[in-house]
Amino acid sequence: MSAKTGEEFIKHEFDEAIAVQRSIVDAETTLAESHPVSSAKASINQALKRDRSYLQELQTLGSKHGATGEVEDVAGGLKSLMEETLQTASSEGADSDYYEAHAVLLNLKRKQMDSAGGMLKIARDQKDAKLRDAAKEFERAQKTTSKDLATELALYAVRIAKA
């Protein structure tokens, strides 16, 4: 991977955020239907509604920089891991497999919190109020849903441990 700077770096950041957000939406779509814990399913379904709109917003904001959601190293690795854990959970159906898929989804959400923080700093530096406001909202929402998913994951761990 070559070093990216300036506008090329901004495009890369948007591409990565879009690709990761697509993985989040795909995972939430699957888990909102198949997660064996009803409270986790409800949390995921709630997040899915917002995450679909954030994906559209990222695509719109990223298009100004030529970003389309090109899957590069980090996003590709996370996408593959998410797909593999969802496949195992869907085919095996064991609680521990769904737990793993839930944990990977949580990691994707945390990755997006980091991306949002970087976008926020870039937006402030470039005095881009629209991007700044969107990044602040995106970061806040990712933090909130990450906390909810982490709580659900911990409760799920207890459930599995008691089985």
pLDDT average per 10 residues of sequence, the chain (163 residues): 82 94 97 96 96 96 94 92 96 94 97 92 93 94 95 96 93
In a domain? residue 69? yes
Q: What are the C-alpha distances in Å from 25 to residues 30, 50, 121, 162?
A: 9, 9, 25, 31
* Cβ neighbours of 34 (radius 10 Å): 15
In a domain? residue 21? yes
In a domain? residue 157? yes
Q: Going by C-beta distance under 8 Å and a sequence separation of 6 or more, which residues neighbour residue 144? A: none
In a domain? residue 153? yes
In a domain? residue 1? no
Q: How far apart are CA 30 and CA 44, in angstroms?
A: 10
pLDDT at 3: 76
Under 8 Å between Cβ of 40 and 101: no
Looking at the structure of the chain, the number of domains it has is: 1
Q: With the C-alpha atoms ordered 105, 107, 113, 118, is the resulting torsion angle positive or negative?
A: negative
In a domain? residue 132? yes
Domain that holds residue 20: 6-162
pLDDT at 4: 80
pTM of the predicted structure, to 2 decimals? 0.93
> Which alpha helices (H) appear in the chain, and where do they start and end?
6-34, 38-63, 73-92, 95-126, 129-162
In a domain? residue 106? yes
| CA neighbor of 20 nearest in space, from 90, 67, 66, 87 | 67
pLDDT at 2: 64
pLDDT at 1: 52
Domain of 124, CATH number, reads 1.20.1260.10
